[in-house]
Amino acid sequence: QKEVEQNSGPLSVPEGAIASLNCTYSDRGSQSFFWYRQYSGKSPELIMSIYSNGDKEDGRFTAQLNKASQYVSLLIRDSQPSDSATYLCAVDQGGTSYGKLTFGQGTILTVHP
Amino acid sequence: DAGVIQSPRHEVTEMGQEVTLRCKPISGHDYLFWYRQTMMRGLELLIYFNNNVPIDDSGMPEDRFSAKMPNASFSTLKIQPSEPRDSAVYFCASSFGGQGYGYTFGSGTRLTVV
């Protein structure tokens, strides 16, 4: 079973701090990695994608990928209360399972004023 | 584009009844996915289609579940007969090009089987 594991939450950070969310995956053939944000009672929303080793920045969000360690992370700088949500890591299956993503269990983030 | 459209938003049904969930993907997207989300198990892939053809239904829990995609703009997920353990939020998602592209999710259908 190809797995995606996320750091157990919930994670609570003060407003303005950096929130760090982590994810590991088991399939070395995976090539595409995504972070989704899900507000309570809503559907997951794609916020970041990363395909190459290193960092990718988009506004206050930075995704980091290390394929050798099979590790992907999401940093949220200057965290705001509106960032409070569940963050889901998703990894493509690779190989013959073209187009199929596996999701982690999610990390609940709370940003308190 | 209106995004991925699911109906109904909420469904309450009695055990043993048939339930049909509907999904309209984003126009031009060639992949369609059905997921189920519960607190205990998170997001689980049930089945996915490419160009209206089912590719992988290994996540379908049992024969009570079936899914169809008769054309590029419509898909259904049917549960017959429904059971209380089927209570969950069911999401439909679509994407273009498969691998390397993120999904766009619909708003979901919250199913309660009593």
Is residue B12 within 8 A of residue B110, CB to CB? The reply is no
pLDDT class for B101, splitting at 50, 70, 90?
A: confident
Element housing B114 (H / E): none
Distance CA(A112)–CA(B15), nearest Å, equals 42
Q: Which of A43, A101, A103 sits opposite B108 (nearest CB)?
A: A43
- Smallest CA–CA distance from B55 into chain A, residue: A97
| A58 close to B (CB below 8 A) | no
B34: tokens are 């059905």
Is residue B103 within 8 A of residue B93, CB to CB? The reply is yes
Query: pLDDT tens across A66-80, in order?
Result: 999 999 999 999 999
Inform me whether the pLDDT recorded for B50 exceeds 80. Answer: yes
Coil vs helix vs strand at A84: coil
Is residue B7 within 8 A of residue B22, CB to CB? The reply is yes
**CB contact residues (below 8 A), chain B span 35-94, against chain A:** 42-43, 45, 48, 50, 55-56, 91
How long is chain B?
114
Is residue B93 within 8 A of residue B32, CB to CB? The reply is yes
Distance CA(A65)–CA(A33), nearest Å, equals 8
Distance CA(B29)–CA(B112), nearest Å, equals 30
> What average pLDDT is seen over chain B?
93
Coil vs helix vs strand at B46: strand
- Smallest CA–CA distance from B98 into chain A, residue: A99
Residue A16 has what DSSP assignment?
T
Query: pLDDT tens across A49-101, in order?
Result: 999 999 999 999 999 999 999 999 999 999 999 999 999 999 987 665 667 88
